[in-house]
Chain A
């Protein structure tokens, strides 16, 4: 089964200059009772977007019409806490295709890659500049080229390389999926089990 392919993305950005944004904020637990993958975008950052009475919090960036785009730019340690993949589903369902931060929590990064949402790690200092630029000019466009592994600030042309595991890169470029890979090596797994039956 193929996932969404990722190659080149050119878009304006939504800034979230907060550190340690945990997955409980991205999608609160009370929305996890659903048994499908769809529709989580509606409740993305629910408790930051709406107050207790359900009124829009106009100050929150997702409610600010100035900021639009398919790239979320967030402070460090983004996606920490609960392993809920629902957080990634919510971000992707809302319409984001990449998240840029100086630092991602491990499980969140894996979950993103498994869903075709590209996590791009940039140096802290660059992140700060990027956030400042977007806040200053919401029209700031960024281009992310996965094949070349670079991120370019279109207004200045400044460009920066980012790391990604070569296997995962291949999967994203081709829209392949880990399960296809694992199903293809089931025989090898069985042989492994056979060799290790003594172990426990």
Chain B
């Protein structure tokens, strides 16, 4: 056998059977579910009169539809409450582990999996959620699926999947001050467009990727889906082992040593062939921001919005998008006043993100007129932030640390951005109405969000960084 990519190595050993002229039957090591995309799958099982095939391999959390204040009280919105209760019932009926509201392990599904040690190198992970790609940071094949596929996994621990093509994205060099993992991925997407990696599974490599923490790597892999990729992964290395070594349930495993040995073999072989290869230079990346209504519409924060003529075929969609945002082609948006700031989501709701934000705002004050939602990605992140005193730093600067959940990332709960208002958001999607009907989202890093929260306008964080 010739040299293989990391992706092939993991995929191939998970194929239970290849269907002639069809997809592969792929075995799934870990399945996550949440309240929004699972109820119809459980109904399907009931209709067929079958049980969950391997209940121990599915873990559930309530995250999309929950409030981020007063979680101790019953959920006010009736439909949301019903959906969360349904998940609870389904989990008890079918014997599935469930982290409901107020459970010490509750949180956004893609924050919870890694921090509990459920996300392990060399495994396959799926969830009825497109940002399942986050888990790829550990060298896993992780991807989002639809509800019919959730039902497949519940019924058989497998999904039928055509094997995607492979893309290698190398980010060489090192990042400048004020530039983060979020800027790397926003930069890449702006270069290859929101559909540029459709049909591919991406492997990220290069010095700038290797230099990232696990949190940073998760941010990068998380947004793979925003360029259309099925998922993205990063070969495990010392940073990965160290992260996993700190998780008691992983470190205490009797087979930990042999796992480590196996993880060391998880990399693409020299000379492995990818269907497409791209290279970027990290030192060229500046803090990024999006100005349109898909994540590919991004630019360096001090750049000007492209003109419409440069858009070719996409001109009409481009203009519609700018019209929605209230921007004009050729315009600069640096210094533009903003109304809301959202720090959180499975892209940037981990402890490192809260630390970066808190450190930035420490000794400063939130701009009057800015409403900020600071939402930890999980109960554990919340607790850790409190232990580190981040909540106090935030409070002194005029911010409130909320309770965990997806919150304003998709605004299914009450954390909505009002119509016409501008929000600098650390989440992953700037689609029309994503953060509430009529809301205008500018995607950016936690540092850029912090700079906007302090100044009340779009600001290059690098200009305000303390030395």
Residues of A within 8 A of B (CB): 1, 17-20, 22, 24-25, 28-30, 32-37, 47, 52, 75-77, 80-86, 88, 103-107, 110-111, 114-115, 124, 165-168, 178-179, 181-183, 185-186, 188-189, 192-193, 196, 199-200
Contact = CB atoms under 8 A, between A and B. Distances in A.
A106 B194 contact: no
Contact of A77 (B47, B149, B195): B195
Nearest to B127: A83
Given A35-B86, A110-B146, 19 more contacts: A24-B410, A25-B431, A29-B412, A33-B412, A47-B433, A76-B195, A81-B431, A83-B130, A106-B164, A165-B21, A165-B162, A167-B20, A178-B149, A178-B160, A189-B16, A192-B16, A193-B27, A199-B13, A200-B122
A24 B432 contact: yes
Contact of B146 (A19, A88, A193): A88
B36 interface: yes
Contact of B434 (A29, A86, A106): A29
Interface in B17-37: 17, 19-23, 25, 27, 29, 36-37
Contact of A106 (B228, B259, B313, B317): B228
8 contacts: A18-B320, A28-B433, A36-B40, A80-B194, A83-B146, A110-B145, A179-B151, A200-B122
Contact of B17 (A20, A24, A82, A188): A188
B437 A114 contact: no
B268 interface: no
B146 A111 contact: yes
Given A82-B130, A178-B152, A181-B160, A30 B86 contact: no
Instruction: Report, as a range, how many residues of chain B touch the other chain.
Output: 35 or more
B459 interface: no
Contact of B437 (A28, A124, A166, A167): A28
Given A111-B146, A165-B22, A83 B129 contact: yes
B195 A183 contact: no
Contacts of A84: 36-37, 146
B146 A85 contact: yes
Interface stretch (B75-83, B175-183, B379-387): B75-83
Given A80-B228, A114-B149, A29 B16 contact: no
**Which of A24, A103, A182 is the most central at the interface, judged by chain B CB atoms within 10 Å of its CB?**
A182
B148 A178 contact: yes
B166 to A, nearest CB: 14
A115 to B, nearest CB: 7
B73 interface: no
B85 to A, nearest CB: 10
B314 interface: yes
B68 to A, nearest CB: 15
A188 B40 contact: no
Contacts of A88: 146
A167 B146 contact: no
**Which of A103, A181, A188, A200 is the most central at the interface, judged by chain B CB atoms within 10 Å of its CB?**
A200
Interface in B219-263: 225-226, 228, 230, 259, 262
A37 B43 CA distance: 10
Contacts of A86: 147
B194 A77 contact: yes
A83 B152 contact: no
Nearest to A114: B148
B198 A107 contact: no
Contact of A37 (B20, B40, B144, B431): B40
B272 interface: no
B306 interface: no
A76 B317 CA distance: 11
B157 interface: yes
B144 A107 contact: yes
A18 B321 CA distance: 11
A107 B146 contact: yes
Contacts of A115: 148
B173 interface: no
Nearest to B318: A19
A33 B146 contact: no
CB-CB nearest 6 A-B residue pairs? A167-B22, A77-B195, A33-B79, A111-B146, A166-B21, A114-B148
Interface string B432-453: 1110011000000000000000
Interface string B56-73: 000000001100000000
Given A33-B83, A34-B79, A103 B195 contact: yes
B216 interface: no
Interface in B33-57: 36-37, 39-40, 43-44, 47-48, 50, 53
Contact of A182 (B79, B158, B431): B158
B37 A80 contact: no
Given A47-B437, A81-B431, A183-B155, A200 B79 contact: no
Contacts of B21: 165-167
A186 B153 CA distance: 12
B316 A17 contact: yes
A22 B294 contact: yes
Contacts of B128: 83, 85
B156 interface: yes
B352 to A, nearest CB: 25
